[in-house]
């Protein structure tokens, strides 16, 4: 496939945007080559500036669970825009999406909307600290919770891809309050809790990790984490920015039947517009300004276009009783198909999957945490990525990302993808 125009556009972009991109992992740094500029998208496909059609497995990194340019979302955004794009006052739309979200997600009474997943996680941790009157937090190596200072301590995807897990600009003071645990290692969490008794505000986790590839919680890890948090009087924060409204209506809390104290959202909840949110029971949410002392605000928070898009997305997911089964079936089909051809072609690999999140690791051992994820064959991933791209399949340009399955993918698309994997893996 030819990428002449993308390559020209990238050179132009590099003159005025650092690295030519507004978010680092888009830059193809870890796989080499030039990022592809997209002109438009519809359903399961991206159409790039050079006239190629690509089957999309990134889906804007998660939000487009029903495919691109999903008609009800597009229509509502157009209609809302005609009535004004931002007022800086309350609107009825905000209450409607809040009511719907609260009805779909277990264990939350109130929700506050922000503009990104980063903002949601940052605010959730401030709220946890304010509510518990404690400073330290525990996060897991390889989990990503956005780019705010407290979380850039061995973060996943973008930061890991560049081999600089600790970003300059994050102060030692901030870093010392973030304690790192190993994913799926409950003894390690317990050790850290014991060593910091009475000092920890919360444990924050991706209940299914998606930013070091897809890594499911093993051996009742989440249940044990809940028990430990209760014993130590520490809040459990589920970062469901990726898993929320994707793994089930009620996200990972519903799928694993675990109650988190605070839940963060992003991605799907905005239907493709910039939205994040965090939610909890009344006791905690009432600690937030203007009711309580913990400050948090946003000029464009609850923006009418964004709320309208998110509301249509949640309505569509809420009213379709088969959606999560369909997504699961499609992902399982892809999993089986890819496994089969990789085995036939003698490619060492591990595939992880939960619901509509899936990742192919060129690693021989089970991938259960950051270390095992990082042990994959990176050169093979690069070759695989570019091979797939040549076959018209767009997967994330990093070995540390999940693929996201959308309902817009047909079984023909999945078969074509499996055929592409077969062709590419013969050349690996």
Ligand X SMILES: *Cc1c(COP(=O)(O)O)cnc(C)c1O
Q: Which residues bind ligand X (CB under 6 A)?
A: 116-118, 121, 144-146, 206, 210-211, 239, 241-242, 266, 276
User: Residue 317, Cβ neighbours under 10 Å: how many?
Assistant: 22
Closest CA to 277 of 254, 248, 311: 311
Beta bridge partners of 262: 237, 280
CA distances from 393 to 253, 353, 359, 421 (A): 32, 19, 15, 9
Question: From the candidates 3, 57, 70, 144, which is the catalytic residue?
Answer: 144
Residue closest to ligand X (Cβ) = 117
Indicate the residue among 145 and 382 with the shorter CB distance to ligand X.
145
The span from the first CA to the last CA of the chain, in angstroms, equals: 19
Active-site annotation holds for 57: no
Active-site annotation holds for 287: no
For the CB of residue 23, give the shortest distance to ligand X in the complex, in Å: 7
Indicate the residue among 121 and 341 with the shorter CB distance to ligand X.
121
CA distances from 60 to 76, 242, 303 (A): 20, 11, 20
For the CB of residue 113, give the shortest distance to ligand X in the complex, in Å: 13
Phi, psi of 193 (to 5 degrees): -60, -45
For the CB of residue 274, give the shortest distance to ligand X in the complex, in Å: 7
418/422 Cα distance (integer angstroms): 6
- Per 3-state DSSP, what percentage of the chain is helix, strand, and coil (rounded to 5)? 45, 15, 40
In the block, which residue shows the tokens 């740094």?
29
Indicate the residue among 20 and 276 with the shorter CB distance to ligand X.
276
Query: What token pair was written down for 330?
Result: 């499609």
Active-site annotation holds for 109: no
Indicate the residue among 359 and 391 with the shorter CB distance to ligand X.
359
Quote the distance between the C-alpha of residue 99 and its chain's center.
Answer: 23
Question: From the candidates 134, 139, 249, 267, which is the catalytic residue?
Answer: 267
Question: From the candidates 56, 239, 407, 413, which is the catalytic residue?
Answer: 239
Indicate the residue among 387 and 397 with the shorter CB distance to ligand X.
397
For the CB of residue 244, give the shortest distance to ligand X in the complex, in Å: 9
65/175 Cα distance (integer angstroms): 35
Indicate the residue among 241 and 342 with the shorter CB distance to ligand X.
241
**Residues involved in catalysis:** 144, 239, 267
């Amino acid at each position: 496939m030819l990428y002449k125009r993308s390559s020209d556009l990238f050179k132009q972009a590099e003159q005025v945007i650092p690295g030519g991109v507004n978010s680092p992992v888009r830059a193809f740094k870890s796989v080499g080559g030039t990022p592809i500029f997209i002109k438009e998208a519809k359903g399961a496909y991206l159409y790039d500036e050079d006239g190629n059609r690509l089957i999309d497995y990134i889906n804007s990194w998660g939000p487009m669970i029903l495919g691109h340019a999903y008609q009800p979302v597009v229509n509502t955004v157009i209609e809302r825009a005609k009535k004004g794009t931002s007022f800086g006052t309350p609107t009825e739309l905000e209450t409607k999406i809040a009511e719907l979200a609260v009805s779909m997600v277990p264990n939350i009474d109130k929700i506050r909307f922000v503009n990104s997943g980063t903002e949601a996680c940052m605010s959730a941790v401030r709220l946890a600290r304010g509510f518990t009157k404690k400073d330290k937090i525990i996060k897991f190596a390889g989990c990503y919770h956005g780019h705010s200072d407290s979380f850039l301590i061995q973060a996943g995807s973008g930061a890991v891809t560049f081999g600089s897990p600790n970003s300059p600009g994050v102060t030692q003071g901030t870093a010392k309050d973030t304690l790192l645990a190993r994913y799926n290692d409950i003894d390690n969490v317990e050790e850290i809790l014991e060593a910091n008794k009475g000092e920890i505000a919360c444990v924050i986790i991706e209940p299914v990790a998606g930013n070091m590839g897809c890594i499911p919680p093993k051996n009742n890890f989440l249940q044990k984490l809940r028990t430990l948090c209760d014993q130590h009087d520490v809040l459990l924060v589920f970062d469901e920015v990726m898993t929320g409204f994707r793994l089930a209506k009620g996200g990972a809390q519903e799928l694993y039947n675990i109650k988190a104290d605070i839940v963060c959202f992003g991605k799907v909840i905005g239907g493709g517009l910039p939205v994040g949110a965090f939610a909890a029971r009344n006791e905690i949410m009432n600690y937030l300004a203007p009711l309580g002392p913990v400050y948090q605000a946003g000029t464009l928070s609850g923006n009418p276009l964004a709320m309208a898009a998110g509301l249509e997305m949640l309505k569509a997911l809420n009213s379709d009783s088969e959606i999560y089964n369909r997504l699961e079936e499609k992902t399982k089909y892809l999993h089986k198909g890819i496994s089969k051809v990789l085995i036939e072609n003698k490619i060492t690999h591990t595939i992880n999957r939960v619901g509509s999140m899936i990742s192919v690791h060129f690693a021989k051992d089970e991938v259960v945490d950051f270390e095992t994820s990082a042990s994959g064959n990176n050169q093979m991933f690069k070759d695989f990525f570019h091979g797939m791209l040549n076959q018209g399949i767009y997967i994330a340009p990093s070995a540390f990302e999940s693929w996201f399955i959308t309902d817009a993918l047909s079984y023909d698309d999945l078969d074509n993808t499996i055929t592409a994997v077969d062709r590419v893996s013969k050349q690996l």
